[in-house]
């Protein structure tokens, strides 16, 4: 999913320079998906809307950053593979992103205190 989003985003940014139509259409689809994921996170974890959006933002930005270090064929990956002193910088995107998001969500959920009606503040 994140790979597709990354490809779509890159394409949309190229198009956005020349025409509003495709960029608007892309943004509309992406924002619809963000709303859907936000709803699921709120329902399942009881976090606030802004927190859910922060999780999505963190996931997409970290996935892009980590992918640059991990993707076969990228210059950065080639550098890490050819320089032993940089080998520790090679990452497994899925496991590292999972650890980052798990820590973020645990922190958010730990900070939630239900009010008298059982809703998180």
Note the pLDDT tens digit of each residue in 42-79.
Answer: 999 999 999 999 999 999 999 999 988 788 777 888 88
Average pLDDT of the chain to the nearest whole number: 82
Query: pLDDT at position 76, please?
Result: 82
- Note the pTM of the prediction, 2 decimals: 0.67
The whole-number average pLDDT for the span 104-109 is 95
User: Which domain covers residue 16, as residue numbers?
Assistant: 2-110
What is the spatial distance between Cα 121 and Cα 107, in angstroms, rounded to a whole number? Answer: 14
Within a domain: 101: yes
Structural domains in the chain (count)? 1
Within a domain: 120: no
Residue 31: phi and psi, rounded to 5, are -65, -30
CATH classification of the domain holding 28: 1.10.357.10
Question: For residue 52, how many other CB atoms are within 10 A of its CB?
Answer: 23
From the number of C-beta atoms within 10 Å of its C-beta (0-12, 13-18, 19+), residue 44 rates as exposed
Report the percent of the chain where pLDDT is more than 70.
Answer: 77
Query: pLDDT at position 90, please?
Result: 82
């Amino acid at each position: 999913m994140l790979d597709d989003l990354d490809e779509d985003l890159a394409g949309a940014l190229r198009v956005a320079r020349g025409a509003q139509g495709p960029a608007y259409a892309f943004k509309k689809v992406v924002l619809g998906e963000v709303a859907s994921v936000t709803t699921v996170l709120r329902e399942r974890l009881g976090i606030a809307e802004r927190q859910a959006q922060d999780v999505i933002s963190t996931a997409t930005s970290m996935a892009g950053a980590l992918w640059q270090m991990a993707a076969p064929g990228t210059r950065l990956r080639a550098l890490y593979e050819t320089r032993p002193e940089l080998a520790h910088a090679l990452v497994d995107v899925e496991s590292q992103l999972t650890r980052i998001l798990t820590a973020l969500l645990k922190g958010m959920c730990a900070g939630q205190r239900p009010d008298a009606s059982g809703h998180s503040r």
